[in-house]
Amino acid sequence: MVTFVETDVVIIGSGPAGASAALFLSTLGVPNIMITKYRWTANTPRAHITNQRTMEILRDVGVEDQVLADATPHHLIGDTVFCTAITGEEIGRILTWGTHPARHADHVLASPSLNCDIPQTYLEPILVRNATERGTRTQFSTEYLGHEQDSEGVTVRVLDRLTGNEYTIRAKYLIGADGARSAVAADIGLPYEGQMDVAGSMNITFKADLSELCRHRPSVLYWVIQPGANVGGIGAGLVRMVRPWNEWLIVWGFDLSQGVPEVTEQDALQIVRNLVGDPGLDAEITGISLWGNNEQYATRLHSGRVFCAGDAVHKHPPSNGLGSNTSIQDSYNLAWKLALVLSGQAGADLLETYSDERAPVARQIVTRANKSAREFGALFEALGLDASQSAAEMDARIEEHKDSSLAGAAKRAAVREAMELKNYEFNAHGVEMGQSYVSSAVVADGTEKPSPSRDPELYYEPSTWPGVRLPHAWVGDSRSKLSTHDLVPYGQFTLLTGITGEAWADAALKVVDRLGIPLRAVVVGPGREVTDLYFDWSRLSGVDEDGAVLVRPDKHVAWRAASAVQDPEAELLSVLTAVLSRE
Ligand code: FDA
């Protein structure tokens, strides 16, 4: 019997963090084994909003089309309703996830990819299938038991849950993508700030045809304000579309200080009927699960050869839809670094930059998501509602916002203001796209980070300041139209320059010879590999035509030169030596 297998990277978990890590590593040709505890992928829809940053990552690894084929498209996801029940009084609506015409323009300008809604139950199989097809050895029904690491690698003990046999996997690196109660993170003693289980929530999945109630306001989110809606939970009662318009998920809160309630199918059906606002609704309850809201992030994401990603290092409510997105983005940051270190093209210190770059993101998103859940309080306050009121009292308070009195007008103004705040949850384009890294894998160019001209949480502003994401612009020629992101495939560094900067391209070739790394220069301009189709790149590049922008495999800017320099080869060599932690 085989009791010992070897690989380069072993991944624990096949959720968004683990399955995407496997996909990225296999795409880069890194041998890996992914083990996961259960017989298949996620069994409840959970994550769904897949933001532009994630979509362009999925585009980069060639699976965006598969995701779109299974997703509810961008234009159907954003007419977010706030109401007393789906059939009840509508308090207001906001156009979310970039579906407002003005915000839609921001989104179209920012990325080649639009966001969409794909439930986790559909996304994970796509990630797992593509990872496995590309080389990942995927082991379901296999549980992580523990590990030891030494200077050469990690020995991982696992249990085959079908046979009860234990065996060990010897790998050079271990990724713990085993979710919010990560055993791997506990085993390496990651330091955390914040609290787990700050509030109680339940998910109820059900089937019912609600198309008549949604046709004129198609959205993935219908927020319901009823007695109990502000107890625990994620700010208010939520009826969330899983598949248009007959599969749904309700998130409803409970008071965790009173213990964990027992929720029967009859209780669940009652909650469904209450939130839909139809006492006789014929709904099939398909699942009930209880979970705790968390407000906790790790301040360091790895120890030696063991790295954690996803909910293992950032634990927060689903508000802002950042969980699965950030999990995939963690793995995207980590996988290319592992690939370069494993191939000897980068020094091991490059891996230190994973924590340096992603721990601040973990903190940011945990803080944002919890703040967003709490900001629902402003809407309850504006309507004069509190947790002690009965349904009749709540209705009476809500009724007041129709009053022709001054008090009625003040209430309407307060409601408008409270609704405005929800843009920080549902239109936080800056949070989604504006992540910026400071680490040794980024070389400063001596300039200050540009000050935002608009609210940096709501609005993304493109820049090539070292550390930020490469701006998107359309380039190509008479036969092709590509995003600048398409010029920078995941397996290499790319140097973008203009026609008078061709000396940079020559320098890049010499640096490839010297360092033996995957680096390619692209000259953008008429008659060259691609031209700047709408002259957007010259506006966004942040450098002169004879300058250069060095982009990392994960599409973050590693460094830039404002214009030509005396010795581009020496400059590039010094920058890449630093970025790659080479001696
Ligand atoms: P995840 O928990 O998904 O996966 C952990 C994996 O590890 C599983 O495969 C599990 O089987 C495995 N595992 C655990 N222990 C193991 C062991 N000992 N051995 C082997 N395997 C083990 N996010 C988002 O981006 N957009 C959104 O719209 C939403 N919406 C949303 C709604 C609701 C209701 C919820 C509850 C959550 C969301 N989220 C979200 C959050 C999202 O679901 C969450 O952040 C991701 O699932 C995290 O992915 P991970 O891969 O890190 O962990």
What does the pLDDT average to over 391-411? 94
Cα distance between the two ends of the chain: 44
Main-chain phi, psi angles of 303, to 5 degrees: -145, 115
Nearest CA to ligand 1 atom 15: 178
Query: What tokens appear for 11 in the block?
Result: 């991944």
Per-residue pLDDT at 583: 81
Domains located in the chain, CATH noted: 4-73+115-190+299-348 (3.50.50.60), 376-421 (no CATH), 469-579 (3.40.30.120)
pTM: 0.98
Q: Is 190 in the pocket of ligand 1 (CB under 6 A)?
A: no
Residue 203 CA: which ligand 1 atom is closest?
34
pLDDT in tens, 460-482: 999 999 999 999 999 999 999 99
Q: Is the pLDDT assigned to residue 435 strictly greater than 60?
A: yes
Per-residue pLDDT at 451: 97
**Sign for the pseudo-dihedral over CA of 382, 388, 394, 396:** negative
What's the CA dihedral at 452, 455, 458, 460 to 10 degrees?
A: -10
CA of 162 to the centre of ligand 1 (A): 23
Q: Is 203 in the pocket of ligand 1 (CB under 6 A)?
A: yes
CA of 18 to the centre of ligand 1 (A): 9
Q: What is the average pLDDT score of the chain?
A: 97
Q: Is the pLDDT assigned to residue 558 strictly greater than 70?
A: yes
**CB of 484 within 8 A of CB of 470?**
yes
Per-residue pLDDT at 388: 86
Q: Is 51 in the pocket of ligand 1 (CB under 6 A)?
A: no
pLDDT level of residue 391 (50, 70, 90 thresholds): confident
**CB of 123 within 8 A of CB of 324?**
yes
Q: Give the number of other CB atoms < 10 A from CB of residue 101.
A: 8
Euclidean distance between CA atoms 353 and 255, whole angstroms: 40
**Sign for the pseudo-dihedral over CA of 343, 345, 348, 352:** negative
- What percentage of the chain carries pLDDT values higher than 90? 98
pLDDT in tens, 257-289: 999 999 999 999 999 999 999 999 999 999 999
**CB of 356 within 8 A of CB of 438?**
yes
Nearest CA to ligand 1 atom 2: 179
Task: Convert 486-513 to b/e letters by CB count within 10 Å (16 or more is b).
Answer: bbbbbeebbbbbbeebbbbbebbeebbe
Among candidate residues 539, 565, 563, 561, the one with its CA nearest the CA of residue 551 = 561
Q: Is 178 in the pocket of ligand 1 (CB under 6 A)?
A: yes
Helix H or strand E segment including 560: strand 557-561
CA of 315 to the centre of ligand 1 (A): 10
Q: Is the pLDDT assigned to residue 325 strictly greater than 70?
A: yes
Q: Is 119 in the pocket of ligand 1 (CB under 6 A)?
A: no
**CB of 390 within 8 A of CB of 457?**
no
Q: Give the number of other CB atoms < 10 A from CB of residue 164.
A: 7
Per-residue pLDDT at 1: 54
